[in-house]
Amino acid sequence: MTAQILSAVFTIIIGVGGCVVYFWTANRLLDVIFPSRGVSGAAAIDNLRRQGYIRPWLFVGPAMLILAVYLIYPVVATLILSVHDRTGQNFVGMANYSWAFGDREFLQAIFNNILWLAVVPAACTFLGLIIAVLTDKIWWGNIAKSLVFAPLAISFVGASVIWKFVYEYRGEGQAQIGILNAIVQYFGGNPQVWISTPFWNNFFLMVILIWIQTGFAMVILSSALRGIPDETIEAATIDGASGFQIFWKIMIPQIWGTIAVVWTTITILVLKVFDIVLTMTNGQWNSNTLANLMFDWMFRGGGDFGRGAAIAVIIMLAVVPIMIWNIRQANREGGGH
């Protein structure tokens, strides 16, 4: 055990140290090559100007290099791979895409993904909003918020174990150890095998993501609600508006932009949902989603990179509209200095 910890500490120091050494050495070198101190005035100004040309690239260089290798190159390469065969050697045109839209498994995954997209962002935003409004009214609201928020820190795999235990099935008449079946049995129903009942199992998997993400929606929306000026609400109250009217006609329109942000963020997350499906069902019982299917094809039968890449491109295409909206939004807010 000690040896493992020592080697881990060693590896960590090498990794982090290497990074620190780069920035320090690169900047030091620049100061040495083009000194701005201890030289004549004209030379110093000249060197300062040269430093000014080079230093920004020392600062952004590593970031650009890593972004290029880990995001930009792969996006291009995936597009190219998606029109090649399983090995990535032979050009096959749109064959991978036409295969995908004729494949029962793929269509099932698309269908499930649409189902997830229809339910999860809506459910998270709706529940998040309700909890945000309710917890604002009570003295222990912050404690309640913390507890609803906490699952956001839990991994999808951990959450899957937690919920698999909730859904655990024991035969009829036996004592149930899963709380959901225990409740069903208590009220006289028959215990169900929740996660292997096709179609409905999708919803039981969605519950896990909703459970995790509602806290996110709640925190963002709660802060937006606090941003609504008190005068607006007081004015409405004086005009005789009821609680519901204030909620629907005053509060919701005011935080509409934030709702959109929450909705799109969760939408992107849903498009990529992988861990939950892998650990709960691995796509069995008609519960597959695109991200899990893609992972599957990366390794299935030695790996079919063409088909995997085609599925990745389809996920990407779904994200592009949100991406464009994001850049527009950022430009509207002004690009900084």
Among 25, 29, 31, 98, which residue sits at the site for another protein (rule: CB under 8 A)? 31
Among 55, 108, 111, 196, binds another protein (CB under 8 A): 55
- Structure tokens, 208: 């896990």
8-state DSSP, 229 = -
| Residue count (the chain) | 337
Residue 129 binds another protein (CB under 8 A): no
Please name every residue paired with 84 in a beta bridge, in sequence order, or none if there are none.
91
| Binds another protein (CB under 8 A): choice among 100, 110, 120, 166 | 166
The single-letter DSSP state of residue 28 is H
Token pair, residue 237, equals 């109250």
Taking the C-alpha atoms of residue 237 and residue 239, their distance in angstroms, rounded to an integer, is 5
Q: Any contact of residue 107 with another protein (CB under 8 A)? A: no
- Give how far the C-alpha of residue 209 lies from the chain's centroid of Cα atoms, to the nearest Å: 11
| Residue 19 CA: distances (Å) to CA of 25, 53, 56, 253 | 10, 22, 17, 47
Q: Which stretch binds another protein (CB under 8 A): 72-80, 95-103, 116-124, 194-202?
A: 72-80
User: Element (H or E) spanning 92, and its range?
Assistant: none
Among 92, 119, 184, 268, binds another protein (CB under 8 A): 268
Candidates 66, 107, 193, 235; binder of another protein (CB under 8 A) is 66
Q: Candidates 89-97, 116-124, 187-195, 264-272 — which segment interacts with another protein by CB under 8 A? A: 264-272
Does residue number 205 form part of the binding site for another protein (CB under 8 A)?
A: no
Torsion of CA 5, 11, 14, 18, to 10 degrees: -130
Which of 32, 63, 90, 173 binds another protein (CB under 8 A)? It is 63
CA distance 128 to 215: 6
Q: How many residues bind another protein (CB under 8 A)?
A: 127
Question: Quick one: which of 71, 102, 188, 302 contacts another protein (CB under 8 A)?
Answer: 71
CB 112 within 8 A of CB 202: yes
Applying CB under 8 A, which of residues 97, 163, 194, 204 lies at the interface with another protein?
Answer: 163
Nearer of residues 43 and 77 to another protein, judged by Cβ: 77
Residues 297-336 that bind another protein (CB under 8 A): 298, 305, 308-309, 311-313, 315-316, 319, 322-323, 326-327, 330-331, 335-336
